[in-house]
């Protein structure tokens, strides 16, 4: 296997960004950049061995400096929403940027997808890896503690893209990292994903208030449009007269996965009947945000001159539940000083 690198442009601060591309024995390619540790391209074959890029994104670093949808993004220090943009640790209240209806979304307007990272490359016979790392200083984005963090992207000959997250802080803090890639298995420039079929291995989800903050309730998916325990096309129920779907403008909900604590298990499946491509999602985290690109506004030009439209891609963001730092009944994302945060997510691609 091999890793190639090329210029990805200059940031507005004069930093030179690099694009690193891994290719496996099957011809699958994954390209990532040291600006924001963003996933830029994922090229996989269809049933006729025709390759397509199935990840929405931009052609150069300039697009990723804006990137309001979060294409391909490493999100942190806390992914998803925190109610009231505040939380308490050890009796001290911390206030965050209110960038989403009075709440905090993805840690603020500058999430971890907009910082430069150090890159370390490792080439092997059956896999290649690129590890991005940096230190998030105490009170960056409003969070306590100097946080040493890294994300390692590994491409295997089994067409697996493995994401391994590591972080440790010198103070008690909250940590909830994810990747915000938007997938379209027909190709990033092929239109909406409503005909894609999804399975989510979850009996429960977390309903929200109108500002999309979980209420604390954990509800059954059975008998509702939220039920993806059996394969179902995204478009079948997305416009149903069901209040949670109206709140999010479609699917934008956390699912509570049917799995034991800390085990890596199959969480979701995505497939495209026309191309034959499918993707399996594995994680050791307790939740997954299923998001159908409801807020893509059609104003930004992506790769190949594509102007992405509403529901042009779908996200599977593995995570601790949104606002878990303020909900004692949710699995906790609070980590003590010196306690290691280590999680993994796998996107495995194939065709049938």
What separation in angstroms does the CA of 294 have from each of 25, 53, 79, 124, 297?
A: 36, 21, 18, 39, 8
Catalytic residue among 180, 188, 196, 253: 180
How many Å apart are CA 323 and CA 30, to the nearest integer?
A: 32
Sheet of strand 232-233: strand arrangement: 118-123, 127-136, 147-156, 160-169, 341-351, 277-283, 265-271, 197-200, 232-233
Task: Indicate the burial class of 175 (C-beta count within 10 angstroms; 0-12, 13-18, 19 or more).
Answer: buried
106 labelled catalytic = no
How many Å apart are CA 147 and CA 247, to the nearest integer?
A: 34
Coil vs helix vs strand at 227 = coil
**How many residues can be counted in the chain?**
352
180 labelled catalytic = yes
Nearest alpha carbon to residue 105 among 151, 70, 144, 140: 70
Query: Phi-psi region for residue 139, left (φ > 0), alpha (ψ -120 to 50) or beta?
Result: left
Catalytic residue among 131, 140, 269, 317: 317
- Helices then strands, counting H and E runs in the chain, come out as 2, 27
How many Å apart are CA 105 and CA 179, to the nearest integer?
A: 14
What separation in angstroms does the CA of 64 have from each of 48, 73, 81, 106, 303?
A: 32, 9, 21, 15, 11
How many Å apart are CA 266 and CA 201, to the nearest integer?
A: 7
Which residues are known to be catalytic? 180, 317
């Amino acid at each position: 296997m091999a890793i190639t690198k090329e210029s990805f442009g200059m940031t507005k601060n004069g930093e030179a960004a690099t694009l690193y591309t891994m290719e496996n024995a099957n011809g699958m390619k994954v390209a990532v950049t040291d600006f924001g540790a963003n996933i830029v391209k994922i090229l996989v074959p269809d049933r006729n061995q025709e390759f397509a890029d199935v990840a929405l994104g931009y052609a150069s670093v300039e697009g990723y400096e804006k990137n309001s949808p979060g294409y391909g993004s490493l999100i942190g220090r806390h992914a998803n929403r925190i109610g009231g943009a505040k939380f308490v640790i050890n009796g001290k209240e911390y206030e965050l940027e209110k960038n989403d209806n009075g709440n905090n979304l993805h840690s603020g307007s500058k999430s971890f997808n907009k910082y430069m990272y150090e890159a370390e490359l490792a080439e092997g016979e059956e896999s290649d890896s690129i590890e991005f790392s940096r230190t998030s200083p105490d009170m960056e984005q409003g969070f306590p503690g100097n946080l040493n963090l890294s994300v390692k992207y590994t491409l295997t000959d089994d067409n697996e893209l493995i994401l391994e997250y590591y972080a440790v802080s010198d103070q008690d803090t909250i940590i909830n990292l994810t990747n915000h890639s938007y997938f379209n298995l027909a190709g990033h420039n092929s239109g909406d994903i409503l005909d894609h079929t999804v399975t989510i291995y979850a009996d429960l989800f977390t309903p929200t208030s109108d500002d999309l903050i979980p209420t604390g309730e954990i509800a059954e998916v059975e008998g509702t449009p939220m039920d993806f325990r059996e394969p179902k096309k995204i478009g079948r129920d997305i416009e149903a007269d069901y209040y949670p779907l109206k709140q999010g403008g479609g699917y934008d909900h956390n699912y509570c996965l049917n799995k034991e604590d800390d085990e890596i298990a199959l969480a979701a499946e995505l497939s495209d009947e026309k191309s034959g491509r499918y993707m399996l999602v594995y994680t050791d985290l307790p939740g997954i945000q299923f998001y159908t690109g409801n807020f893509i506004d059609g104003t930004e030009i992506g790769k190949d001159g594509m102007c992405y439209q509403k529901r042009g891609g779908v996200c599977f963001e593995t995570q601790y539940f949104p606002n878990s730092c303020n909900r004692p009944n949710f699995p906790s994302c609070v980590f003590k000083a010196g306690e290691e945060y280590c999680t993994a997510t796998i996107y495995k691609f194939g065709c049938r």
